[in-house]
Amino acid sequence: MLEMLINPKRAQKRSWEMFLIGLVYGSLSIILVNWIFGEDAVLAKYSGILIITFCVMFSMPYMYYAIKLEEEKDMKIEGAFRLLKEHNKTLFGFLWLFLGFIIAFSFFYIAFPSENNFRAQIETYCMINRPANFNECTEQYGIKVSGKTTGFLTSKEKLIAIFTNNIYVLMFTLIFSLIFGAGAIFVLAWNASVIAAAVGIFSKSNLASLPLGVARYMIHGLPEIAAYFIGAMAGGIISISVIRHNIRSEKFWSVLQDSLNLIILAVIVLFVAALVEVFITPALF
């Protein structure tokens, strides 16, 4: 019942409502995981992954039907630019959902701090932002791990590293979408939780600083996640098209061409996001 709070057609007309849905799904995921697994000596350590799993379960029906709707558009609409314009409606819905996840996760990270809820996310944050002091970083936020460290990176090396990592994420998003249709929501919900942990760390566990923390990571985060959602749509559209149409048909090749255009667009957006993350965000904050 909860996973069908809104249908894709309505979301296209009022995409901002997906922000509220993201808040509900993200909050419920944390509450349910802590309620069900909070006292479990083993599973409590993996709460961060379980929270993402619950978000996926809530979001999967919407993701599937939204991508199915996009595939139907490919059958009816001619022209690459017209298709991209139509895909934007669903893309904004995905972005609002993602932003809802981030706000919900960030709020719980700051207001109800728990080492287990974001353990894996904090480790990921430290590996990306402080690779030369990984162990010290994780211990600073209450987590003791034994990990490798790397040396200081120049801006050019950091740009290459970030862009390469983002391409890997895009590839996994595309593969998940091809295999599971709407399976990319796992990768995207995970990224939302990592950004939320970074927001909480930047805000220094102060709710008053939450808006500034969100702004700091959304400058490059929104285009980056938009690229992942574009890739998710491309993979999902191909997946559904394979199921519904003969791969030798003219319609299928039309769908494939549209999906390839989306993938190229996603790569371009990722490169721009990497430039912003390396050169613009640090200058502003």
The whole-number pLDDT of residue 205 equals 65
Neighbouring CB atoms inside 10 A of 59's CB total: 27
In a domain, residue 4? The reply is: no
In a domain, residue 89? The reply is: yes
What is the C-alpha to C-alpha distance for residues 227 and 277, in angstroms, rounded to an integer? 14
In a domain, residue 2? The reply is: no
The whole-number pLDDT of residue 83 equals 61
Neighbouring CB atoms inside 10 A of 79's CB total: 10
Confidence band of 9 (pLDDT split at 50, 70, 90)? low
What average pLDDT does the segment 195-206 reach? 82
Q: Which domain holds residue 66?
A: 10-284
In a domain, residue 58? The reply is: yes
In a domain, residue 101? The reply is: yes
In a domain, residue 5? The reply is: no
Nearest to 278 by CA among 146, 154, 174: 154
Confidence band of 256 (pLDDT split at 50, 70, 90)? confident
Neighbouring CB atoms inside 10 A of 179's CB total: 11
Examine the pLDDT at 139 and tell me if it is beyond 80: no
In a domain, residue 73? The reply is: yes
**Number of separate domains in the chain:** 1
Examine the pLDDT at 80 and tell me if it is beyond 60: no
In a domain, residue 34? The reply is: yes
pLDDT above 70 coverage of the chain, percent: 79
The whole-number pLDDT of residue 30 equals 94
Taking only the tens place, the pLDDT of each residue in 21-64 is: 899 999 999 999 999 988 887 888 888 899 999 998 888 888 87
pTM over 0.75: yes
